[in-house]
Amino acid sequence: MLPVLEFTTYYKPVVWGGDRIARFKGIPSQGPDIGESWEISPLPGHESIVAAGPYAGITLNALVAKFPKEILGNKVHERYNGQFPLLVKIIDSNKDLSVQVHPDDNLASTRHNANGKTEMWYCVDPAPGAFLYLGFNRPMDPTTLRQMIANNSLVDALGKFHIRRGDTVYIPSGRIHAIGAGNLIVEIQQASDITYRLYDYGRRDFDGKLRDLHIEDSIEAIRYDDIAELPINIIPEKGESAHLLTCEYFTTSIRDIDGRLNLDLHALDSFTILMAIAGSLTVKTPDGHTTTLNQGHTVLVPAVIPSVEITGHGQILTVNI
């Protein structure tokens, strides 16, 4: 039986990043401008590498190629042609992120020969006053959108939501959005890194150059009738589990562990991602293999593992297809 898999993490420096991710994880600083930690990634250039155990040093994609159905499950293997389909991150917005949109599968395939990007956020630790922009607050059209970008008033047309810990936010492809300063968020998304920026506050990159905008690409990708709704706030009771979101690409739940949880996975026919968002936990497989899962850390449970026993006190997100 394959073990529960731990991976090295890619810490991405960005102009809007900070240092909260390392503090959340309880590890040494990874730098002053870390905006993202890529917990599990199949994307070339920043592909996850197994960190420990008999497969240490092997990339996620190489391991999936070696054990495709054992890791992915039969249904996921068939649907995604043996490719790992998700990317999981933690995001620290020390400053406001750009206003952006992601293409759907059809547009991304046509333009980039890639997947589209539908995602969700779980808000772990927002600072007082932290907010998100989601969708429009009025009917919109391409001409008006261009005008508002040109006169720096685009954010006036966006839905603005102040965020609480436990808010769950769905961002389907085509939804205009931005993360405001002060958020610490878990992001679960299709395995894609395609982002179109519409507006970036005149910000410059680390080299002092204005960051690229993708206005015409965005115009085609945006859903103009998208009036976003208030995020749903879900924090589980002690020892309980709660469903967060199911969409076409993934299902996510949150579970509070108060001593012991037996997680039955055999009927899923999918891998399961576990991320601890609070506490310190131990994950044990039926063959007795144990893995420590501390706050901010993520592991991949291959589909071939029928169940895991999780002990300790804390909270985890579970993600599967």
Question: One-letter amino acid identity for 225?
Answer: D
HSE-up of 120 (CA within 13 Å, CB side)? Answer: 23
Dist. CA 76–CA 271, nearest whole Å: 8
Residue ranges of the chain assigned to CATH 2.60.120.10: 5-233, 241-320
Q: One of 175, 197, 203, 211 is an active-site residue; which one?
A: 197
> What is the per-residue pLDDT for 309?
98
Q: Is 197 a catalytic residue?
A: yes
pLDDT tens-digit series, residues 145-187: 999 999 999 999 999 999 999 999 999 999 999 999 999 999 9
> What is the per-residue pLDDT for 140?
96
Dist. CA 309–CA 321, nearest whole Å: 20
Dist. CA 82–CA 78, nearest whole Å: 7
Dist. CA 284–CA 52, nearest whole Å: 16
Which burial class, exposed, middle or buried, applies to 177 when counting CB atoms under 10 A from its CB (0-12, 13-18, 19+)? buried
> What is the per-residue pLDDT for 228?
81
For domain 241-320, the CATH class is mainly beta
pLDDT tens-digit series, residues 58-110: 999 999 999 999 999 999 999 999 999 999 999 999 999 999 999 999 999 99
Q: Classify 291 as helix, strand or coil.
A: strand
Low-confidence residues of the chain, pLDDT below 50? Answer: none
Instruction: Specify the residue for token string 């750009």.
Output: 98
Instruction: Specify the residue for token string 């994880």.
Output: 25
> What is the per-residue pLDDT for 1?
80
> What is the per-residue pLDDT for 209?
92
> What is the per-residue pLDDT for 277?
98
Dist. CA 62–CA 73, nearest whole Å: 16
pTM of the model: 0.96
Which burial class, exposed, middle or buried, applies to 278 when counting CB atoms under 10 A from its CB (0-12, 13-18, 19+)? middle
- For the beta carbon of residue 115, count every other beta carbon within 10 angstroms: 24
Cα 189–Cα 294–Cα 320 angle in degrees, nearest 5: 30
For domain 5-233, the CATH class is mainly beta
Nearest C-alpha neighbor of 218 from the set 165, 301, 148: 148
